[in-house]
Amino acid sequence: MSDLLETVRGLAKKTDSKILLVVLDGIGGLPRTPGGETELASAKTPNLDALAQRSELGQLELVGAGITPGSGPGHLSLFGYDPLKYVVGRGALSAVGIGVKLNSGDVAVRGNFATLGEGRTVLDRRAGRPSDEKNAEIVARLRQAIPDIEGTPVEIYTESEHRFVVVFRAAGEPLGASISDVDPQATGVAPLTATAHDAASEKTAALVNAFVSRAEETLRAEEQVNGVLFRGYSDVPHFPSFDDAYQLRAACIASYPMYKGLASLVGMDVLTVEGQEDALEGKVAALTENWDKYDFFYFHVKKTDSTGEDGDFDAKVKKIELFDALLPQLLALQPDVLAIAGDHSTPSRLASHSWHPVPFLIHSEYGRKDVTSRYTEEEAQKGSLGLRRGTDLMPLLMAHALKLNKYGA
């Protein structure tokens, strides 16, 4: 464990208090035009505003100054795991999240279906966000076309929309996972060629490149879903137990496989959520039905990130307002500590993750009076919690919940 996590582990104690951590994925933003308002500031959020006026606010840097976090490192930081020490690729998170068991020596990789044009130019990295049904149809075709590559078994799984997962199963010798991305994370350029960063990963890189070639051949008649992009290679990760570190019985309420996978890897129970991600009613129902069974709840909201990635400022504003409308249902449960944060910023203006700190809020009866009036980036800059590392969040929540003993004599 990192020093802070180890210290908190030694101080943690069980109590009856309950902590609710809401992660508004990609919540941080930028003004549509310089000098304007961010998505958060533009949104009509009377419930968040009222909560901010009786809470403490601040900003979080999930990895470090100027470093743009992926969703995995961002969440690990929020959970108190130093993302520079506990490293895991997106592939393993997605695989575990959909219930795929990884064995020692296997490599999982997260894939995007993409739209390719002339000269293999990437026109759309997400292939227009196809339906889950279309995703499953394409995955079935790839499974038939690529059951293995030169004797190495290949397993292909639907995740959601444009996302899928490939697992290369070790056949005799372990496969290395130190490989460069195929996804250029840009349009107007061709997919990259995977290269190995060490000798142990040379075979895996060759498998990835062969898969890309065979997938494009299989999908060449498709107008929209006709290419694949890979990033986030990983073998089997191991993390200290969340329950052991914090003396908490923790539950995850999320829909997207990657977030369920991450929660599962740290030892949270992943609760069943009914309905569509966008509606959120199923998540509130899961929270309410299980409220008496757990001490800690991680409640994930995805669409604040997806709309930012799509570069759709107005749509992100609407997703923020949808969350604001359901906030009273969360408050009605009377959590002893309620935190609202993001795992990274996703400004619509950039249509991607960014390095900007995310606003966060902590509400409990033991909070001091703050000067803030809204839950926005600008107001968070004024807040009493200041600018902190993401790994500071869990100790603060534990302290507000009176779940930490005194340190030292």
d(CA 254, CA 23): 10
Mark whether 230 and 245 lie in a shared domain.
no
Last residue of a domain, one of 214, 234, 254: 234
Mark whether 261 and 349 lie in a shared domain.
yes
Q: Is residue 406 part of a domain?
A: no
Q: What is the pLDDT of residues 148-192, one digit of tens each?
A: 999 999 999 998 889 999 999 998 789 999 999 999 999 999 999
Q: Say which amino acid occupies 45.
A: T
Q: Say which amino acid occupies 190.
A: A
Last residue of a domain, one of 171, 200, 234: 234
Segments forming the whole domain that contains residue 199: 94-234
What integer pLDDT is reported at residue 2 of this predicted model? Answer: 55
Q: What is the pLDDT of residues 324-362, one digit of tens each?
A: 999 999 999 999 999 999 999 999 999 999 999 999 999
d(CA 228, CA 113): 5
CATH code, domain carrying 102:
3.30.70
From 277-291, 314-328, 333-347, the region with the lowest mean pLDDT:
277-291
Of residues 237 and 156, more confidence is placed in 156
Q: What is the pLDDT of residues 11-69, one digit of tens each?
A: 999 999 999 999 999 999 999 998 999 999 999 999 999 999 999 999 999 999 999 99
For the chain, the average pLDDT equals 93
d(CA 342, CA 391): 13
Taking CA atoms, 276 is separated from 90, 161, 316, in Å, by: 23, 12, 17
Say whether pLDDT at 1 is over 70: no
Mark whether 24 and 143 lie in a shared domain.
no
Domains held by the chain: number: 2
Q: Is residue 219 part of a domain?
A: yes
What band does 92 get if pLDDT is binned at 50, 70 and 90? confident
What integer pLDDT is reported at residue 201 of this predicted model? Answer: 94
pTM higher than the cut 0.85: no
What integer pLDDT is reported at residue 111 of this predicted model? Answer: 94
